[in-house]
Amino acid sequence: MSYRFFTQSTPNNGKIMLDGEQARHAIQVMRFGEGDQIVLFDGSGTEYVALIDQVEKRRLWLSIKSQRVAPRGIKANITLAVALPKGDRQKVLVEKLVELGVERLIPLKSNRSVAVANQKVVQRLQKQVVEASKQCGRNRLMKIEGETTLGGLSEMLEASVLKLIADPYQGQAILDVAAKCLAEMPAEIVVAIGPEGGFDDEENLLSQELGFQPVRLGPSILRVETAAVAIAAILGIGLETGQAESGELEV
């Protein structure tokens, strides 16, 4: 079994260093020593197979045996803008979106939001991205942006982006939207997901003015993280495995 660790160090003459929390885990928890082999990934898509040359108290020095670019992502560029749930449900949300290949997560500030994504929260979510990537084999980190509103989100996006908004009561079924995306393959798909109380009337009206298209996920009212995971799975896995020439979605 190969154990994976995230590094921000740059290779130099076939050598690379692992430090910080990642080194502490390798040395104190996993008990790795000289001569052991591990896998490092840098978050941009490159991974390294490396041998431990030297163990210090808080650092590892390694020799690179091989390296390759292996993003292990999906073809679709999916962004989810989500009104974060409370507590440990945020960890579940991040973990599953990383596994499903979402490109970036943007915390969304809504009039009915129950959690605030301040700088400390964003930093914690970024650490969870690293841990989830280590586990699932993903080599390109999902980006976590700063918190914004619907209006701010729209200003961030290019004109070519397909903008969707989750609505439990109206709009196209998500499978129909995914099938259309499979045929047209937009450059980026952005989906806004509101808090459990839903977007209020003012925000729903604003979303229409900003060009967000409502999509339905089914007859049940889903929790925030459930809706996000369902959307990521249907759009991401569907566009990855579907047949573009037939316009059919495999689910």
Q: What is the mean pLDDT of residues 111-131?
A: 94
Question: Could you read off the pLDDT of 8-51 as tens digits, one per residue?
Answer: 998 999 999 999 999 999 999 999 999 999 999 999 889 999 99
Question: Could you read off the pLDDT of 209-251 as tens digits, one per residue?
Answer: 999 999 999 888 899 999 999 999 998 876 665 433 333 333 3
Question: Could you read off the pLDDT of 54-110 as tens digits, one per residue?
Answer: 999 889 999 999 999 887 767 778 999 999 999 999 999 999 999 999 999 999 999
For residue 2, the model assigns a pLDDT of 59
Task: Evaluate whether 98 touches 74 at the Cβ level (below 8 Å).
Answer: no
Q: Cβ contacts of residue 226 below 8 Å, gap of 6+? A: none
Phi, psi of 197 (to 5 degrees): -80, -5
Q: What is the mean pLDDT of residues 172-179?
A: 88
pLDDT band with cut points at 50, 70 and 90 for residue 3: confident
Architecture label for domain 4-69: Beta Barrel (2.40)
Percent share of the chain, pLDDT over 90: 73
The DSSP bridge partners found for residue 173 are: 216
When the pLDDT of each residue in the chain is averaged and rounded to a whole number, the result is 89
For residue 238, the model assigns a pLDDT of 64
Q: What is the mean pLDDT of residues 134-163?
A: 93
Domains 4-69 and 78-241 alike in fold: no
Task: Evaluate whether 153 touches 163 at the Cβ level (below 8 Å).
Answer: no
- Residue ranges of domains in the chain: 4-69, 78-241
For residue 240, the model assigns a pLDDT of 67
State the Cα–Cα distance between residues 9 and 11, nearest whole angstrom.
Answer: 7
CATH of domain 78-241: 3.40.1280.10
